[in-house]
Structure 1
């Protein structure tokens, strides 16, 4: 039989793929071994093929010339337990006297590294081999997978836990060196802010100069709430050796100028206190670092340079809060990034709105009470005055709202203006009811067939019977209006101004702490 090396290898691979028996679960104790009687011609043919194959393989080149090198990775050399191996050797030796199989030992071919069930045999021989060996191939394949799967020792997991580094502490402080114009309508403000972040480095790789491009740790701080391309960001570093020579303190300085977005809380407008914040984040996760306020260096606000001090009162203290930011469009959506928010506070000076909004609305509503001085018979005069005041109040409210953003809730000024409009509407409706009663009485008095003295008196002066009702209504409206003004005044000092008192108290505490540090 004449064949070259590649044809023999292809033949062996084809025999393996084609005649590999399926997974059969058989019990060698319950089924007897099947005896197969073969013809002498077939035995001679197998012997000649074995001889030719051995001669070709012995004269072949090393494994580097084989065209199927991946088979040794797909079918690795099996590792069988001692009991399995003894059973396999015993059954193989017992069946070798009855059958002729091809087994080449110490071969350099990758096919010879296969398990015993993958040798080159015919279909009948494979069936007989499985029955005689009483080995379940499914168990063998499962054992092969288990034997080839790497098992990490328990010490590796412990080493990973020990090698896991703790997040680095970043100590921050912030100084609002200059606060510019505060735009309530567009919800933004301009400022110049000095931000400082410091941390300790124990890597002992930092010499006299710190350079993040040389592989030194850097928090990679980024401003989160700036608007457009107005941001001007300057950054520099400094290093300081601590008492322990192995630890170096690195400080990163930021000088930030630009326009920043800030959501305005206008529930208490015009007595509101707004927060002007600077949000700093990093592309690193919360497992890498975390922010904390630097208590050794004070933070504060420079109030001497404040361009919008005619409309706002700037407080001295700075508050820090910590948040977690999730990148919605990132591949790692589950990673949370730490965010530090530095906030200063400003209180609106409400004198302009008190005189130009509250006081004018108060006068318009008070003028509506003067319509009760007109006799009920003059309905036209009453309704004309109240309707004119109503339209004036609505127009005035639209003028005031031009200085506010379009928000979905009512401010304190909106509540006061709308309640004034409602009061004018109620007074207007009351005048309409009084006029209806007046003309109804006049119609009933004139429709009687016999006019008496009393009916004539009612027909000429019907408002005499309505004067008492009109006077009671006037005192009721006047008392309600007075009580409402008192309640508005109490709410103003109890809710909005209470927060202003809290801000002033924090300023005093901050000033006292600063004096204690200096002394």
Structure 2
């Protein structure tokens, strides 16, 4: 009995302590993010692979994607660790990467790995993310339906640019699968994936800081066949049928106007069809302009029908009007044809340039891998130059377009090579990967 009484008293004491702990805790889901004790700016390498690109919604200006993302960064605080099971990842510093333009996230799986260099006990942390989400994209629809769109996934770090910077992992290629694209009936997906770092604008932040961004961009081109044959061609036929009003005698204006205005109302109905295929935008697309010009032509035809009943020589007036209106139709379609040709040619030139940029980078990465068998590179500018040469591609060193003070950037780079005081926790010199050593993802 006495032992049972002691057990009951201990149980009551444990329960009281739990209640006290619960009252002292400010929030059960509160997370504190620790700054680096050495104060260094961390370069985080990113590699992206779009596994599947889903529905592209022009009206909502959204697209869905299934993406695999990996981030690598050196972590001196884990010196001596060899296995990921030895690390409490909830208690470690991390780059706090978020999906900046995500509308909703359906799935997000995160894993951590430790990668060791031969002969060095300071590991590289690899954070792998498998994400299925819907992203917001501001679409440019001036050339609709002859438009192409940049579908961009934006990553952002919640650390300001003084603590974290993004860069591409120059040891492995970014990829996108075109065979799993579900919108192939409406869009053509290109096989290049352009990834470049940037930073937020001052108006994108609620604080005085600016934050690093990483843009992962795929290109799609709209297949125009549906809109050309089902809207533009039908509008052309309706407009051409307006000339049948000349078969009605000029002295019967009511019948003539009945034909013209009926066709005009049909055009108005088609205008609503075009509107349903687009978001609420304040500018006219190329298809909008064509439909409106067809309607303006029909209005001119209605004015001609009304005037034909009051002029003295109605037959001559009809003949001249028919010739002038036919000339307007021919000239308008000629201008539209030239304009479409120029737009399509300009678009194809831009996409070929993007393809060329992507393929050149892939060739450089392949040559580097064949020479070194290294799959993680880009922690220093020297490593980047070893792959792409002295002339860095756009987005690798973009301090000028980011608006960063170049002198400040130099100070950061120089200070990063200085060994911090030994009394700081986790303070060790930066360890640069050797070309003779191998990192394996």
**Fold match (TM-score > 0.5):** yes
Which of the pair is proportionally richer in strand?
Answer: 2
Which residue in the other structure is 1:305 paired with? 180
Is 1:488 matched with 2:336?
A: yes
The 1-side partners of 2:220 and 2:152 are apart by 11
What stretches of structure 2 of length at least 5 have no aligned partner? 1-36, 371-441
Aligned ranges 1:304-383 → 2 under 5 Å: 304-321=179-196, 322-324=198-200, 333-383=207-257
The 2-side partners of 1:299 and 1:244 are apart by 29
The 1-side partners of 2:97 and 2:363 are apart by 31
Moved more, 489-498 or 473-482: 489-498
> Cα distance, 1:397 vs. partner?
1.1
CA 1:219 to 1:496, structure 2 compared with 1: closer, same or farther past 3 Å? same
CA 1:378 to 1:247, structure 2 compared with 1: closer, same or farther past 3 Å? same
CA 1:351 to 1:389, structure 2 compared with 1: closer, same or farther past 3 Å? same
CA 1:295 to 1:213, structure 2 compared with 1: closer, same or farther past 3 Å? closer
Is 1:231 matched with 2:79?
A: no
The 2-side partners of 1:247 and 1:353 are apart by 58
Which residue in the other structure is 2:149 paired with? 274
Secondary structure at the aligned position of 1:430 is classed as helix
The 2-side partners of 1:261 and 1:195 are apart by 18
Q: String of CA shifts for 1:372-418, please: whole Å, max 9, x gaps.
A: 34443332332121111111100111123212222221111111101
Aligned ranges 1:49-448 → 2 under 5 Å: 165-203=39-77, 205=79, 207-209=81-83, 211=87, 213=89, 216-228=92-104, 230-242=105-117, 245=120, 247-321=122-196, 322-324=198-200, 333-438=207-312
The 2-side partners of 1:426 and 1:474 are apart by 11
The 1-side partners of 2:176 and 2:205 are apart by 36
Q: String of CA shifts for 1:301-335, please: whole Å, max 9, x gaps.
A: 101111221111111111234231669786xx212
Secondary structure at the aligned position of 2:94 is classed as coil
What stretches of structure 1 of length at least 5 have no aligned partner? 1-162, 439-464
Moved more, 344-353 or 164-173: 164-173
Higher relative contact order (CA 8 A, sep 6+): 2
Which of the pair is proportionally richer in helix?
Answer: 1
> Cα distance, 1:224 vs. partner?
2.1
How many pairs does the alignment contain? 328
> Cα distance, 1:200 vs. partner?
2.6
The 2-side partners of 1:244 and 1:202 are apart by 15
CA 1:190 to 1:246, structure 2 compared with 1: closer, same or farther past 3 Å? same
Secondary structure at the aligned position of 2:226 is classed as helix
CA contact (8 A) 2:199 2:210 kept: no
Q: String of CA shifts for 1:82-124, please: whole Å, max 9, x gaps.
A: xxxxxxxxxxxxxxxxxxxxxxxxxxxxxxxxxxxxxxxxxxx
The 2-side partners of 1:514 and 1:282 are apart by 26
CA contact (8 A) 1:315 1:504 kept: no
> Cα distance, 1:221 vs. partner?
0.9
The 2-side partners of 1:423 and 1:491 are apart by 19
Quick check: which has more Rg, 1 or 2? 1
CA 1:329 to 1:220, structure 2 compared with 1: closer, same or farther past 3 Å? closer
CA contact (8 A) 1:202 1:246 kept: no
Which residue in the other structure is 2:404 paired with? none
Q: String of CA shifts for 1:243-266, please: whole Å, max 9, x gaps.
A: 672653322211111222222222
Q: String of CA shifts for 1:136-173, please: whole Å, max 9, x gaps.
A: xxxxxxxxxxxxxxxxxxxxxxxxxxx98552211212
Secondary structure at the aligned position of 2:211 is classed as strand
> Cα distance, 1:352 vs. partner?
0.7
Secondary structure at the aligned position of 2:208 is classed as coil
The 1-side partners of 2:128 and 2:318 are apart by 74
CA 1:506 to 1:328, structure 2 compared with 1: closer, same or farther past 3 Å? closer
CA contact (8 A) 2:146 2:343 kept: no
Q: String of CA shifts for 1:464-490, please: whole Å, max 9, x gaps.
A: x33333322211111111111111111
Secondary structure at the aligned position of 2:53 is classed as strand
TM-score by length of 1: 0.58
Secondary structure at the aligned position of 1:227 is classed as strand
CA contact (8 A) 1:193 1:255 kept: yes
